[in-house]
Structure 1
Amino acid sequence: MDKVEIYTDGACSGNPGPGGWGAILIYKGVEKELSGYESHTTNNRMELMGPIKALEALKRSCEIVFYTDSAYVCKAFTDNWVKKWQMNNWQTSKKLPVENQDLWMALIDLLKSHNATWVKVKGHSDNAKNNRCDLLARTAIKNRM
């Protein structure tokens, strides 16, 4: 199985407000950058769009290591929030509907053909790839405003 590293980040100007996402896919030392924009969204939705769009860019099943500064996205997998939400009919432990359910379902569906692990990185710090994803996301917003 091919091995791919994926770095992602999301940004929002206001929350909600205009938002952007960025992703860097690394395969055999070659990097591919992706980014996108939504006119009215939230930061959490943009944090989810990075992994979704990165997975959509893959042509076959891969072993993936995701790097994100989003505890929201990372912990959903590392702390099994996603499995708990599914078992509880997409309700939180407080019996409230899970936010961004549409994007979570899309992400889960895309992950089915891959073997993925998630790594939380410190945001706005010394991780060059995470900083680049942040710049991609913020530039996507800036270019549309």
Structure 2
Amino acid sequence: MHTVHLYTDGAAKGNPGPGGYGVILEQAGTGYRKEFYEGFRLTTNNRMELLAVIVGLEKLTKPNTTVLVVSDSKYVVDSVTKGWVFGWEKKGFAGKKNPDLWVRFLKIYRRHKVDFKWIKGHNSHPQNERCDQLAVMASTMPDLHVDAFYEQQGETLL
């Protein structure tokens, strides 16, 4: 089975403010490529970075898929590769931001074989640049979605 490359980016104008994510799924050696994006009326860049990874993983239909997530988000990459999120989980995410998304992430993360690679953003990486374009475009679309958890709970309460 071929490795799936999952390229992601998130954006929020104002942070918090209108935001969006962009995702590219590519399957090595097959020519398969799909793009996804979605915008929200009030959110943060970190929520969009994490949601991009979640949505990309949720699009995979076969369990135990080998995935390489390529992201410019130190927040997401370090949280997983340095094991922080697993410690947060054991403590019920007490005092941590975005617990709703981390719970959702861990559920889908455990269905696959996922590795992470951090890349510097805005550094002429074609897929990262495209994901950034998708995220920014999504954040400016009419009829933006509601990030219900963020709007109901408020970032300062977490």
TM-score, with length taken from structure 2: 0.84
Runs of 4+ in 1 over 3 A off after TM superposition: none
Contact 2:121 2:128 in 1 (8 A): yes
- Matched AA of 2:60: L
Q: How far does residue 98 in structure 1 lie from its aligned partner after superposition?
A: 0.8
Which one of 48, 53, 56 corresponds to residue 55 of structure 2? 53
CA distance in structure 2 between the partners assigned to 1:32 and 1:64 by the alignment:
15
Q: How many positions carry a matched residue from both structures? A: 140
Point out where structure 1 has 5 or more consecutive residues left out of the alignment: 92-96
CA distance in structure 2 between the partners assigned to 1:29 and 1:119 by the alignment:
21
CA distance in structure 2 between the partners assigned to 1:36 and 1:47 by the alignment:
12
- Matched AA of 1:68: S
The one-character-per-residue Cα deviations of 1:1-60 (angstroms, maximum 9, x if unpaired) are 552100000000111111000000001222100000111111111001101111121111
- Matched AA of 1:6: L
TM-score, with length taken from structure 1: 0.91
CA distance in structure 2 between the partners assigned to 1:77 and 1:21 by the alignment:
19
The one-character-per-residue Cα deviations of 1:59-88 (angstroms, maximum 9, x if unpaired) are 112100000000000001111111111233
CA distance in structure 2 between the partners assigned to 1:87 and 1:59 by the alignment:
28
Q: Percent identity?
A: 39
Per the alignment, in what secondary structure is the counterpart of residue 133 of structure 1? helix
Q: Are 2:79 and 1:76 aligned?
A: yes
Q: How far does residue 112 in structure 1 lie from its aligned partner after superposition?
A: 1.4
Residue in 2 aligned with 1:33?
35
Contact 2:6 2:70 in 1 (8 A): yes
CA distance in structure 1 between the partners assigned to 2:19 and 2:33 by the alignment:
23
CA distance in structure 1 between the partners assigned to 2:70 and 2:57 by the alignment:
13
TM-align CA RMSD: 1.3
Point out where structure 2 has 5 or more consecutive residues left out of the alignment: 145-158
